[in-house]
Amino acid sequence: MHHLLEGAFALNTMNNIADSNDVLWMSEGDLYLEHVFEDTTLVYCKPSGDTHFLSFLPADILKLIEKKPMSISALHTHFLTEYEFSENDLPLSIMKDAITQLDEIGLAWPSAADAK
Protein backbone atom coordinates (compact mmCIF):
# COMPACT_ATOMS: atom_id res chain seq x y z
CA MET A 1 0.00 0.00 0.00
CA HIS A 2 2.87 2.28 0.84
CA HIS A 3 4.22 1.88 -2.65
CA LEU A 4 0.84 2.42 -4.23
CA LEU A 5 0.58 5.69 -2.34
CA GLU A 6 4.01 6.66 -3.53
CA GLY A 7 2.90 5.68 -7.01
CA ALA A 8 -0.20 7.86 -6.68
CA PHE A 9 1.97 10.78 -5.66
CA ALA A 10 4.25 10.14 -8.56
CA LEU A 11 1.28 9.95 -10.93
CA ASN A 12 0.16 13.46 -9.97
CA THR A 13 3.56 14.92 -10.50
CA MET A 14 5.01 12.58 -13.08
CA ASN A 15 5.13 15.11 -15.87
CA ASN A 16 7.56 17.20 -13.87
CA ILE A 17 9.41 14.27 -12.35
CA ALA A 18 9.79 12.24 -15.52
CA ASP A 19 11.17 15.34 -17.22
CA SER A 20 13.92 15.55 -14.64
CA ASN A 21 16.91 13.40 -15.48
CA ASP A 22 18.18 13.55 -11.90
CA VAL A 23 15.30 11.81 -10.13
CA LEU A 24 16.11 8.26 -9.09
CA TRP A 25 13.48 5.67 -9.98
CA MET A 26 12.95 2.44 -8.10
CA SER A 27 10.76 -0.66 -7.91
CA GLU A 28 10.36 -3.80 -5.80
CA GLY A 29 10.34 -7.33 -7.17
CA ASP A 30 8.10 -8.55 -4.33
CA LEU A 31 5.22 -6.53 -5.79
CA TYR A 32 4.76 -8.65 -8.85
CA LEU A 33 5.08 -12.03 -10.55
CA GLU A 34 6.43 -12.18 -14.07
CA HIS A 35 6.57 -14.52 -17.00
CA VAL A 36 8.73 -13.74 -20.01
CA PHE A 37 7.65 -14.55 -23.58
CA GLU A 38 10.56 -13.48 -25.78
CA ASP A 39 10.28 -9.68 -25.94
CA THR A 40 7.02 -9.46 -24.06
CA THR A 41 6.83 -9.85 -20.30
CA LEU A 42 3.61 -10.65 -18.48
CA VAL A 43 3.57 -8.99 -15.08
CA TYR A 44 0.95 -9.72 -12.44
CA CYS A 45 0.86 -6.85 -9.94
CA LYS A 46 -0.11 -8.24 -6.53
CA PRO A 47 -1.45 -5.04 -4.90
CA SER A 48 -3.74 -4.10 -7.79
CA GLY A 49 -4.55 -7.59 -9.11
CA ASP A 50 -3.94 -6.28 -12.62
CA THR A 51 -1.88 -8.04 -15.27
CA HIS A 52 0.36 -5.99 -17.53
CA PHE A 53 1.99 -6.77 -20.85
CA LEU A 54 5.35 -5.02 -20.94
CA SER A 55 7.46 -4.46 -24.01
CA PHE A 56 11.13 -5.34 -23.60
CA LEU A 57 12.24 -1.83 -22.58
CA PRO A 58 9.96 -1.28 -19.54
CA ALA A 59 10.52 -4.92 -18.53
CA ASP A 60 14.31 -4.44 -18.59
CA ILE A 61 14.01 -1.12 -16.77
CA LEU A 62 12.01 -2.84 -14.03
CA LYS A 63 14.65 -5.51 -13.52
CA LEU A 64 17.33 -2.85 -13.21
CA ILE A 65 15.65 -0.38 -10.87
CA GLU A 66 14.53 -3.06 -8.44
CA LYS A 67 18.23 -3.72 -7.81
CA LYS A 68 19.09 -0.05 -7.27
CA PRO A 69 17.37 3.30 -7.93
CA MET A 70 18.51 4.90 -11.18
CA SER A 71 17.94 8.17 -12.99
CA ILE A 72 16.46 8.28 -16.47
CA SER A 73 19.72 9.53 -17.92
CA ALA A 74 21.65 6.69 -16.25
CA LEU A 75 19.10 4.19 -17.57
CA HIS A 76 19.42 5.72 -21.00
CA THR A 77 23.22 5.37 -20.98
CA HIS A 78 22.97 1.81 -19.68
CA PHE A 79 20.56 0.61 -22.35
CA LEU A 80 22.34 2.36 -25.22
CA THR A 81 25.31 0.16 -24.32
CA GLU A 82 23.37 -2.99 -23.51
CA TYR A 83 21.26 -2.95 -26.65
CA GLU A 84 24.08 -1.52 -28.80
CA PHE A 85 21.69 1.15 -30.02
CA SER A 86 22.37 4.65 -31.25
CA GLU A 87 20.59 7.63 -29.70
CA ASN A 88 18.55 7.67 -32.87
CA ASP A 89 17.32 4.14 -32.13
CA LEU A 90 16.70 4.88 -28.48
CA PRO A 91 16.07 8.56 -27.83
CA LEU A 92 15.88 9.84 -24.26
CA SER A 93 12.19 10.64 -24.77
CA ILE A 94 11.41 6.92 -25.14
CA MET A 95 13.08 6.26 -21.78
CA LYS A 96 10.92 8.95 -20.19
CA ASP A 97 7.80 7.45 -21.78
CA ALA A 98 8.67 3.98 -20.49
CA ILE A 99 9.23 5.26 -16.94
CA THR A 100 6.01 7.27 -17.08
CA GLN A 101 4.06 4.21 -18.15
CA LEU A 102 5.59 2.11 -15.35
CA ASP A 103 4.78 4.90 -12.94
CA GLU A 104 1.15 4.97 -14.09
CA ILE A 105 0.65 1.30 -13.23
CA GLY A 106 2.42 1.63 -9.87
CA LEU A 107 5.42 -0.55 -10.68
CA ALA A 108 7.98 2.28 -10.61
CA TRP A 109 8.16 5.31 -8.39
CA PRO A 110 10.65 8.05 -7.49
CA SER A 111 12.86 7.12 -4.57
CA ALA A 112 11.69 8.57 -1.25
CA ALA A 113 14.32 11.33 -1.24
CA ASP A 114 13.07 12.58 -4.60
CA ALA A 115 9.38 12.31 -3.79
CA LYS A 116 9.59 14.77 -0.89
Partner 1 sequence: MFSKQMVIHMSQDLHSDLPPSQKDEDSIRQSRRNLLKMAGAGVPMVITMKASAQQVLISQLRCAFVLGVRQRVLVDPAGNAWVSSRNIRRNNTKGLRLDSIEEFKASATFIGSATGMAGAPPQFRPTACPQGGDGDQYDDWTTCGYNYYRLGRNTNIKPADFLSGSTWNIGSSSRGLYLELSRQMAEGPLSTNGWPGISCVISVLTYLQMNGG
Binding-site ranges for partner 1 (CB under 8 A): 39, 48-58, 83-85, 89-91, 93-94, 97-98, 101-102, 104-105
Other CB atoms within a 10 A radius of the CB of residue 39 amount to 11
State which residue, 22 or 104, has the beta carbon closest to partner 1: 104
Shortest distance in whole angstroms from residue 116 CB to partner 1: 26
State which residue, 45 or 112, has the beta carbon closest to partner 1: 45
Closest CA to 23 of 89, 88, 108, 82: 108
Report how far Cα 20 is from the mean position of its chain's Cα atoms: 14
Shortest distance in whole angstroms from residue 91 CB to partner 1: 7
State which residue, 9 or 44, has the beta carbon closest to partner 1: 44
Closest CA to 76 of 68, 67, 60: 60
